[in-house]
Amino acid sequence: MTRYVMSIDLRRCVGCQTCTAACKGANATPPGIQWRRVLDIESGEFPDVRRTFLPVACMHCANPPCEAVCPTRATTKRADGLVAIDYDLCIGCANCVMACPYDARSIVHESHFAYGDMPMASEAKRFDPDRIGVSMKCTFCVDRIDLAAITGQIPGVDPEVTPACVNSCISGAMQFGDIEDPQSSVSRLLQETQHYRMHEELGTEPGVYYIWDQS
The amino acid present at 141, given as its one-letter code, is C
Strands 48-56 and 37-45: antiparallel
Chain CA centroid to CA 133, Å: 20
Task: Look up residue 10 and give its amino acid.
Answer: L
List the one residue from 21, 28, 54, 154 that touches another protein (CB under 8 A): 54
Residue 211 found at the interface with another protein (CB under 8 A): yes
Q: Are 62 and 81 in contact (CB under 8 A)?
A: yes
Residue 103 interacts with another protein (CB under 8 A)?
Answer: yes
Q: Which of residues 147-176 bind another protein (CB under 8 A)?
A: none
112 makes contact with another protein (CB under 8 A)? no
Which amino acid is it at 27?
A: N
Q: Among the candidate windows 47-55, 119-127, 145-153, 178-186, which touches another protein by CB under 8 A?
A: 47-55
Query: Which residue stretch of 121-129, 144-152, 163-171, 198-206 sits at the interface with another protein (rule: CB under 8 A)?
Result: 198-206
Pick one of 6, 26, 74, 83: the residue that binds another protein (CB under 8 A): 74
CA distance 75 to 72: 8
Q: Decide: is 69 part of the binding site for another protein (CB under 8 A).
A: yes
What residue type is 90 in one-letter code? C
